[in-house]
Chain A
Amino acid sequence: MVNRMEMFSLKGEPIDLKVAILKRMGYESDGTFIFDSNGHKVIDPYIDEPVKIDNMLILQGSEIILDSNPLSLTGYFEDHGETI
């Protein structure tokens, strides 16, 4: 049986909270983009574009950070199954 995860909406949450979540997960942000522990911009592999903090999606599966859009989500579901 697959346990569905709850979705925590970041919409309307203050930027400080988003940055704090990212920091807690080992990332940094300049308020627009997200950077990994090596200082590299986090790129969404499904759209080949940098992820912006105001439209991010953090999913399970080695803590993957994506842009929140149908193309990325569909790619993720194809690769990992519908776990959400």
Chain B
Amino acid sequence: MPDDIPSNTDVVAGLTKGLLEHAENKASAWVDRFRNREIVFIEDPRTIERVKRQRKGPEWKMLSEIIKDRKLRILAQMGLTLRELEDDQDQTQALRNKIHHRYGREALHIAEAVQNDIISNFIGLESPHIVESADLTNRVEDLLNHIEKYVVFISPDEKEELILRRVRTRLDADVPDTLILFGAYKAKKLATSIRDKIEREFPTYTTSSVETKIKIIIFINKLN
């Protein structure tokens, strides 16, 4: 091969060097803009747009006025995100895993309570009886911080008698003064059946329900 014709290896090396230099120059310009606070870097801007859109929504506006605790605020927003992602199983599961990994199982139940409208309905029922906004904050944050005590998430695979026993035990112990049952899809029928039995067995409690085609939220409150 004549000396003035470069080998394939030289061509590839030259190209690679050129591409790297191009990437470095481009990166340098972008980083300068970043440092001038003109841009941020993100893999997919839709993630930011979704979070921002949700924070502007009416439900978060209402919840953010009431929920003051940082962790609960984050989990409440995750509940709204889970609701929005309900049709995308992969994204829903990925987010559930992240919540569980970072904050644990109970935190996931907090997010689920928001996702399934339990908290917004609870606020709707409680707020007419509360004068001071700080009292509503305490009431809602107490519910969220003790989600397992206040809310019974009914799984379709559970035996009705076992759930009934759990509910009876809590009502007999008189703690708390509000108990919420939640059932979706197949568990909705189960929740309704439990409500009917509780109504017969506990005359000192009253129930009210919020129902859609696929889910039911049952509030069991002690009569004053």
Contacts and interface: CB of A to CB of B under 8 A. Distances in A.
Interface of A: 3, 5-11, 14, 16-17, 19-21, 23-25, 46-49, 54-60, 63, 68-71, 73-75, 77-78, 82, 84
Contacts of A24: 24, 27-28, 31
Contact of B95 (A59, A69, A78): A69
A11 B70 CA distance: 31
A73 B47 contact: yes
Contact of A68 (B27, B30, B42, B95): B42
A25 to B, nearest CB: 6
21 contacts: A5-B37, A5-B39, A5-B40, A6-B38, A7-B45, A11-B43, A11-B44, A16-B23, A20-B23, A21-B31, A24-B24, A24-B27, A47-B101, A57-B43, A57-B47, A60-B34, A68-B44, A69-B98, A70-B47, A77-B51, A78-B70
Contacts of A77: 51-52, 55
A84 B40 contact: yes
**What band does the interface of chain B fall in when counting residues whose beta carbon is under 8 Å from A?**
35 or more
Contacts of B70: 78
The 9 A-B pairs with the shortest beta carbon distances in the complex, nearest first, are A20-B27, A58-B41, A16-B23, A24-B31, A7-B45, A21-B27, A20-B23, A73-B51, A70-B81
Describe A's contact surface by its main secondary structure.
mixed
Interface in B94-124: 94-95, 98-99, 101-102
A5 B49 CA distance: 13
A24 B23 CA distance: 11
Nearest to B73: A78
B112 to A, nearest CB: 14
Interface of B: 19-20, 23-24, 26-28, 30-31, 33-34, 37-45, 47-48, 50-52, 55, 70, 73-74, 77-78, 81, 94-95, 98-99, 101-102
B102 A58 contact: no
B40 A8 contact: yes
A74 B78 contact: yes
Given A56-B41, A58-B41, A8 B74 contact: no
A84 B27 CA distance: 20
Most chain A C-beta atoms within 10 Å of own C-beta, residue among B26, B42, B48? B42
Nearest to A53: B43
